[in-house]
Structure 1
């Protein structure tokens, strides 16, 4: 991918507990199996979970980028699954909302990754706080994870509404998790599309796929191993692999200004607000 940008996409949700981080980890694994160079950024900066799901104990994380003299390369951590992670901190309140200087510092640091990766997956926090909006705005694509629960649908719509009305984001990809069958996935997706069509004009929602309820997923989480490695033949693993192949077909933007800042620079001039 020498003449194009890396594909930068967020995995996001309006509501916590929908399996977003678990899906991020497994998508990173599947894309790496496809021969892609993948970095997974844990962008839930105050409540990190990527390292926990992988059973890793990083000595450095993004907190140290801002508060100690370390580089992004020093923070990058190899996993046993062919991809690297940028771990975040957990229980550090000052990381919940980055200030402008920290956003600039992170932008400059991420620029160094451009020639070394094919995919940057950004696992955001849940909700509509400034960090969630910041990282969603910085991505080329936004993969919205939801479940059939009414609260998940309501909160997913709220996130879409804020990104659309305040920041002009109109395209979202959708992955429905924890479904009992494909029919339920299509019904859940249709409800979200219906709400957006009725109340928001110009929003495009593309269904990437669905992940079934699967006991193998729970066992994998307990064992701190991605389900696609723990039980590759399980229904959930097969569904995630199918979603990764869809993502693998997404087109990256043409390289127009020479670096990854093309995706991030607009954030320097437009601070997200949830007020």
Structure 2
């Protein structure tokens, strides 16, 4: 079985050798900072710029992307392992043109799945990766051993924080937790719900200084999102705010942020070379 699985992975690697898929984990140190809302609208904006995007809700049992977008999925990732539903059947095209996989509930039972199911997941998910330029994982709030193992497999981490002292402290704690496991993973910071540009810059500066001083780690400011009445309106109407009003301050800020991200003019670790995402996922998430 192991030889067959290894041969399958080698064939898949050859098949996708020319495809560059960027995997991104979106995290927050605490709940209530707008992480899922940013993940959803960030993904839609990437699609608006012509990119193929898959959004994967990893906030198991507490995910709210379905609510934010005003749509629901028939299946979740749990159905793959529990009910043998093909992974491709779980993909839903949601308003904004992106594809979406629901986290659903029941993933606590993943410890009981078989090696055959794991290998099938590798194969099917690897094939899906070949269809997308960006795969965005909306992680659950906070940090624990399970989420850390998954985050260690991605290419980059986007950290969502607000200007509140507790949010800043928790964001730093999450980044410290990840950095102690792997110092080379790139961090991008988004400061959400700011009253002024200066407030957002001051928040980023505080986090950046602490990261640099105590962990010798740098983080890129990806952008600042203003407090905007369009956002609660969009949540109440279950419409992504980028679709509700593209000219709103928050929407314009998000467009600028995504533009900056796509240009990738950042000083990231030059020696940050890692195996393919599936290899890392197997190592960090499924090896027990």
Please tell me whether the aligned partners of residues 147 and 153 of structure 1 are also in contact (alpha carbons under 8 angstroms): yes
Match of 1:62 among 74, 77, 90: 77
Greater RCO (CA < 8 Å, at least 6 residues apart): 1
CA contact (8 A) 1:232 1:238 kept: yes
Distance 1:127 1:104, change over 3 A: farther
Equivalent position of 1:162 in the other structure? 177
CA change 1:73–1:108 in 2 (3 A) is same
CA contact (8 A) 1:97 1:131 kept: no
Aligned residues: 262
Partner of 1:231: 245
Cα deviation, 1:129-172, whole Å, max 9, x if unaligned, reads 13321332121111111000111111111111111112334421
Change (3 A) 1:215 1:84: same
Partner of 2:202: 187
- Is contact 1:175-1:207 (8 Å) kept? yes
**How many angstroms apart in 1 are the aligned matches of 2:98 and 2:64?**
16
Moved beyond 6 Å, runs of 4+: 95-100
Q: Where do 1:1-275 residues align within 5 Å? A: 3-90=18-105, 92=106, 94=108, 106-201=121-216, 203-250=217-264, 262-270=276-284
Q: Deviations over 1:161-213 (max 9, x none)?
A: 11111233442111100000110011000110121122112x12000110000
Residue 257 of structure 1 aligns with which residue? none
What residue ranges of structure 2 are gaps of 5+ in the alignment? 1-15, 266-273
Normalised to the residue count of structure 1, the TM-score between the two structures is: 0.87
TM-superposed CA distance for 1:109, in Å, is: 3.1
Quote the Cα distance in structure 1 between the aligned partners of 2:227 and 2:135.
Answer: 27
Report if aligned partners of 2:78, 2:103 keep a CA contact under 8 Å in 1. Answer: yes
Match of 2:269 in 1: none
Helix, strand or coil at the partner of 1:57:
coil
How far apart are residue 11 of structure 1 and its match?
Answer: 1.1
Q: Give the C-alpha shift of residue 34 in structure 1.
A: 0.9
**Structure 1 Cα separation of the partners of residues 124 and 68 of structure 2:** 25
Task: Answer with 1 or 2: which has the greater Rg.
Answer: 2
CA shift at 1:5, angstroms?
1.6
Deviation track 1:203-253 (CA, whole Å, cap 9, x = no partner) reads 1200011000001000001111000001111001111111111222239xx
Q: Distance in 1 between matches of 2:275 and 2:64?
A: 26
* Structure 1 residues 43 and 99: alpha-carbon distance in aligned structure 2, compared to 1, 3 A threshold: farther
- Could you tell me the TM-score, scaled by structure 2's length? 0.83
Cα RMSD (Å) of the superposition?
A: 2.6
SS at match of 1:211: strand
CA 1:93 to 1:107, structure 2 compared with 1: closer, same or farther past 3 Å?
closer
**1:32 Cα deviation (Å)?**
0.8
- The separation in 1 between residues aligned to 2:130 and 2:197, in whole angstroms, is 39
